[in-house]
Chain A
């Protein structure tokens, strides 16, 4: 039975074709190709895998059954944030990145894959405008990696060992960053006070010397856009360290780009810019610097550049400073570069082109207005407090439940009403999030439900 089934993904499985090709190369059977695989390494018998679903209809039915056991943020009203954000993804973004020509391209040359080079260079350029920086990389995997790499870059530039973390950082991100910089750097976390940097403590930590970078987030993990961000730049620079800031790019139509208040390396994740959440699988990391040779030299990522061709008026592209090697004695490995998240970068580029300068300002204003409204509205609910409510917030904000019920219990009660409450930071604390997709009614509904539940 199976012998006559040529799988639709495998054209030469058709028996006559297969035989003719074996004859053409003078082989009895495919076994001839595996003579170098010793018998004791050969798998005896077939792999133990589920029976195949060879019909497309059967596969669709199977997968539909699995997908049916998920409830998406479209089926419910979600207030989850904390690193992955629910934003509207414009239809044109999907239309572009779903194109076969982009989706299935890979690593061709600047000629036959010219479109990919141009789209990625334009992504770099659009991000450059948003970030007020002249150099932006082809995306790395995600914002975690971007932070880790940005700090190692700072380490290579300064030759110093200590990294001072001045903001509230998500525990998972900190875990990755600490692991990643471990061979060369000690990470010193200065606890925040009232959701904001403890400037005096940061100054004391910096004063101990050997500082490669002061690291901050804008907004930080708790959604706070810390008014001390510019002051941290001064602390870093006085100590000869670099100021590394991780920011949420969708805030930058309203919030000042970190370069404007002294950041030397800016990094983050483009997910908010037109990339679907996909259960936490939609990410791309950006790293940006000024156009200074000693900074550019430390990028492990690819950087595309625009160049002339032999024909006037034609744009060509290629890799900038590909042989990025340090001539310094303290030469260290420049990490690695590999397949990462290019198409999500293209998505972000399309998003920025669609939004334009006005759209970016408007989306930032709407998110900040909704965040402020949600903070005010929830603060008014008995049994609910919003710590640091007076601080500027963007999208995320922490909530404390002072009544008898835990975050888990409250979230369970919300879920019964098809509402996803903020995720637990502790038994009594949760991180809530609103974006431009939330309406006033959505926020009012949440407040009303919490009023009921926390009673």
Chain B
């Protein structure tokens, strides 16, 4: 395009900018940034350290003194900052994109104002062993957050200690173990039942805690097979750990029957509510008879995902499991808040101190800004967004939403590109990499793939109708390319920070390199 000539009169038309094309001409930042070890200059440093005002201590024996300085880079402050700012730009956070593609992760807006509270030194610089009189504010936040989560789940008490969702699952299984141990039934009850669509951590945590795991597969309609559950329960059943809706987004309306079957056999029922975004204020774990549940505060309750944590989990229990909660609990005696560590039947500590406090503060502030009606609106709009997006997605050639045809979904859908795959040879993973060329995320499914060529989308309440239309348009374009120009899809990414990686060396002990020193030694031969 040549610019208008500088001479002569210009018209209004000369100033008109053509409308934007339907799809964004995205290109991600590509700084071609070296590794931090390739930067820096000997003799420079990034921050000054207080020099000792008192004599150095020489009490360390020779064998416990460091002989060689660690091989850390030597960099000035600006250069450290610049390196990491460049890396930061080579990421797609929620704030930057229409983050509906990381299904099951509940990628929603994490309000900036809540970050301010946790950066305040009256949170960030609190030591956990301070006298209770000096931390009444944060204890009040924790106490109220527990009460609010108890109301939202219908449970009697909630522990805020777990470090994240899987840690909350582990906390629940630890309480299940303590409960049966207290009744002398632990030897007998050594089986935990879960479903293939449940998060793999349910099975993994149960195994870690010493239980055997029985997995139920979906029936033809995509629901967990209730007849299989009947066959699986018995005197050895410790617990059922189940999600509803599962990753298909189909609400299992017989969930109370599942719970009854397990209760009848003497087992406990734990509801994996890692993602409760579609049912806030609609239905509660208690209503279906569950004994325990857990929330991921970094999903439903808006705390940031932080590249994979720090996150926060919350484990809710009914009255009979309260004695087994992790210690300490936060109590209120009418005038002051205090930590109760005197809980003899407690499963003990699940992590240092009391929980990932910054995220407890954020979740508290988020709930306080929404209230009961706001939470329900979160659920309703998340579900509306999901069903709207499903309609748009199913207009695309080659994709389907397996199971329960014609039914509405709750907060997410596991789609299948099976037809497109058969027609074009293009796989779901390749669609995902190509979709990233338009500035979006995309996720397939946990393994094993129950749905072939899976794709899981979860539009939370945070995205506008235009956002959803744009995301659907991106997938439609990638699908069109798969049919008409599959090479473009297969050779993606084209607009990303880097090009296709060669992963084969990652599985070979000879060639994998987890650190710079390992790379230098194994690959560079230094």
Given contacts A46-B281, A52-B371, A126-B36, contact A338 B201 (CB under 8 A): yes
Chain B residues whose C-beta falls within 8 Å of the C-beta of A402 in the assembled complex: none
Interface residues of A in 62-76 (CB under 8 A from B): 62-63, 65-76
Chain B residues whose C-beta falls within 8 Å of the C-beta of A291 in the assembled complex: 509, 514, 518, 522
Q: With a 10 A CB-CB cut-off, give which of A22, A105, A280 has the most chain B CB atoms.
A: A105
Does B174 count as interface, using CB distance less than 8 angstroms? Answer: yes
A437 to B84, CA, bound (A): 26
Does B55 count as interface, using CB distance less than 8 angstroms? Answer: yes
Does A208 count as interface, using CB distance less than 8 angstroms? Answer: no
A67 to B54, CA, bound (A): 36
Given contacts A105-B307, A281-B360, A303-B514, contact A92 B77 (CB under 8 A): yes
Residues of B in contact (CB 8 Å), total: 206
Q: How far is the CB of A112 from chain B (nearest CB, A)?
A: 4
Are A53 and B359 in contact, CB atoms less than 8 angstroms apart?
no
Chain B residues whose C-beta falls within 8 Å of the C-beta of A354 in the assembled complex: 45-47, 75, 77, 80
Chain A residues whose C-beta falls within 8 Å of the C-beta of B84 in the assembled complex: 92, 96, 119, 346, 350
Chain B residues whose C-beta falls within 8 Å of the C-beta of A21 in the assembled complex: 384-385, 388, 465
Chain A residues whose C-beta falls within 8 Å of the C-beta of B350 in the assembled complex: 176
| Contact pattern, A 261-305, Cβ under 8 Å of B = 1, otherwise 0 | 100000001000000111111111000000101001000000111
Write the chain B residue with the least CB distance to A317.
Answer: B501
Given contacts A67-B123, A73-B125, A280-B128, contact A225 B91 (CB under 8 A): no
Does A253 count as interface, using CB distance less than 8 angstroms? Answer: yes
Q: How far is the CB of B277 from chain A (nearest CB, A)?
A: 12
Chain B residues whose C-beta falls within 8 Å of the C-beta of A277 in the assembled complex: 124-128
Write the chain A residue with the least CB distance to B371.
Answer: A52
**CB < 8 Å: which of A67, A71, A342, A359 contacts B120?**
A67
A129 to B381, CA, bound (A): 49
A sample of 5 more A-B contacts (CB under 8 A), given A34-B410, A125-B516, A139-B309, is: A13-B377, A50-B148, A143-B352, A252-B66, A307-B502
The 7 closest A-B pairs by CB, nearest first: A280-B353, A52-B371, A183-B210, A280-B128, A338-B166, A316-B501, A354-B46
Are A49 and B502 in contact, CB atoms less than 8 angstroms apart?
no
Are A43 and B287 in contact, CB atoms less than 8 angstroms apart?
yes
Are A309 and B501 in contact, CB atoms less than 8 angstroms apart?
yes
Chain A residues whose C-beta falls within 8 Å of the C-beta of B323 in the assembled complex: none
Are A392 and B64 in contact, CB atoms less than 8 angstroms apart?
yes
Are A360 and B70 in contact, CB atoms less than 8 angstroms apart?
yes
Are A80 and B383 in contact, CB atoms less than 8 angstroms apart?
no
A356 to B201, CA, bound (A): 38
Q: How far is the CB of A310 from chain B (nearest CB, A)?
A: 5
Q: With a 10 A CB-CB cut-off, give which of B85, B464, B506 has the most chain A CB atoms.
A: B506
A115 to B250, CA, bound (A): 35
Are B501 and A43 in contact, CB atoms less than 8 angstroms apart?
no
Does B420 count as interface, using CB distance less than 8 angstroms? Answer: no
Write the chain A residue with the least CB distance to B305.
Answer: A106
Does B232 count as interface, using CB distance less than 8 angstroms? Answer: no
Are B461 and A10 in contact, CB atoms less than 8 angstroms apart?
yes
**CB < 8 Å: which of A84, A90, A145, A443 contacts B128?**
A84
Interface residues of A in 48-107 (CB under 8 A from B): 48-54, 56, 59-60, 62-63, 65-76, 78, 80, 82-84, 86, 88, 90, 92, 94-96, 98-107
Query: Would you give 27 A-B contacts (Cβ < 8 Å), ordered by A?
Result: A13-B461, A33-B387, A35-B408, A49-B148, A62-B368, A71-B130, A88-B50, A102-B88, A104-B96, A106-B307, A112-B497, A114-B91, A128-B516, A128-B517, A136-B514, A218-B64, A225-B64, A279-B126, A280-B127, A281-B360, A296-B509, A306-B35, A306-B519, A310-B502, A313-B32, A320-B507, A340-B309
A283 to B163, CA, bound (A): 9
Interface residues of B in 43-84 (CB under 8 A from A): 44-47, 49-57, 59-61, 63-67, 69-75, 77, 80-81, 83-84
Are B465 and A95 in contact, CB atoms less than 8 angstroms apart?
no
Are A49 and B253 in contact, CB atoms less than 8 angstroms apart?
no
Are A172 and B308 in contact, CB atoms less than 8 angstroms apart?
no
A239 to B2, CA, bound (A): 79
Given contacts A10-B461, A105-B93, contact A22 B384 (CB under 8 A): yes
Write the chain A residue with the least CB distance to B296.
Answer: A339
A132 to B92, CA, bound (A): 33
Are B35 and A24 in contact, CB atoms less than 8 angstroms apart?
no
Overall SS of chain A's interface: mixed
A244 to B40, CA, bound (A): 34
**CB < 8 Å: which of B93, B135, B255 contacts A100?**
B93
Does B24 count as interface, using CB distance less than 8 angstroms? Answer: no
Are A67 and B122 in contact, CB atoms less than 8 angstroms apart?
yes
Write the chain A residue with the least CB distance to B302.
Answer: A9
**CB < 8 Å: which of B93, B205, B361, B441 contacts A101?**
B93
**CB < 8 Å: which of A42, A357, A363 contacts B69?**
A357
Does A365 count as interface, using CB distance less than 8 angstroms? Answer: yes
A403 to B316, CA, bound (A): 46
Are A108 and B66 in contact, CB atoms less than 8 angstroms apart?
no
A57 to B131, CA, bound (A): 31
Query: B10-18, B110-118, B260-268, B479-487: which lies at the A interface?
Result: B110-118
Write the chain A residue with the least CB distance to B299.
Answer: A339
Are B307 and A47 in contact, CB atoms less than 8 angstroms apart?
no
**CB < 8 Å: which of B70, B108, B129, B152 contacts A130?**
B70
A50 to B365, CA, bound (A): 12
Does A311 count as interface, using CB distance less than 8 angstroms? Answer: yes
Query: A161-169, A186-194, A369-377: which lies at the B interface?
Result: A369-377
Are A281 and B356 in contact, CB atoms less than 8 angstroms apart?
yes
**CB < 8 Å: which of A269, A341, A353, A371 contacts B80?**
A353
Are B126 and A7 in contact, CB atoms less than 8 angstroms apart?
no
Given contacts A63-B365, A392-B60, A436-B50, contact A98 B115 (CB under 8 A): yes
Write the chain B residue with the least CB distance to A271.
Answer: B352
Q: How far is the CB of B367 from chain A (nearest CB, A)?
A: 7
**CB < 8 Å: which of A10, A48, A105, A107 contacts B462?**
A10
Chain B residues whose C-beta falls within 8 Å of the C-beta of A120 in the assembled complex: 307
**CB < 8 Å: which of A59, A104, A135, A322 contacts B113?**
A59
Does B374 count as interface, using CB distance less than 8 angstroms? Answer: yes
**CB < 8 Å: which of B201, B255, B355, B370 contacts A281?**
B355
Chain B residues whose C-beta falls within 8 Å of the C-beta of A327 in the assembled complex: none
Chain A residues whose C-beta falls within 8 Å of the C-beta of B377 in the assembled complex: 7, 10, 13
Q: With a 10 A CB-CB cut-off, give which of B129, B311, B433 has the most chain A CB atoms.
A: B129
Chain B residues whose C-beta falls within 8 Å of the C-beta of A65 in the assembled complex: 137
**CB < 8 Å: which of A41, A112, A130 contacts B28?**
A112
A439 to B51, CA, bound (A): 10
Q: With a 10 A CB-CB cut-off, give which of A38, A101, A110, A260 has the most chain B CB atoms.
A: A101
Q: How far is the CB of A118 from chain B (nearest CB, A)?
A: 5
Chain A residues whose C-beta falls within 8 Å of the C-beta of B107 in the assembled complex: 106
Chain B residues whose C-beta falls within 8 Å of the C-beta of A329 in the assembled complex: none
Given contacts A41-B288, A141-B167, A305-B514, contact A84 B127 (CB under 8 A): yes
A230 to B406, CA, bound (A): 68
Write the chain B residue with the least CB distance to A226.
Answer: B64
Are A366 and B51 in contact, CB atoms less than 8 angstroms apart?
yes
Write the chain A residue with the least CB distance to B178.
Answer: A179
A51 to B105, CA, bound (A): 28
A92 to B78, CA, bound (A): 9
A46 to B506, CA, bound (A): 52
**CB < 8 Å: which of A11, A48, A98, A124 contacts B514?**
A124
Given contacts A13-B377, A51-B371, A119-B87, contact A179 B207 (CB under 8 A): no
Chain B residues whose C-beta falls within 8 Å of the C-beta of A71 in the assembled complex: 122, 130, 134-135
A256 to B70, CA, bound (A): 10
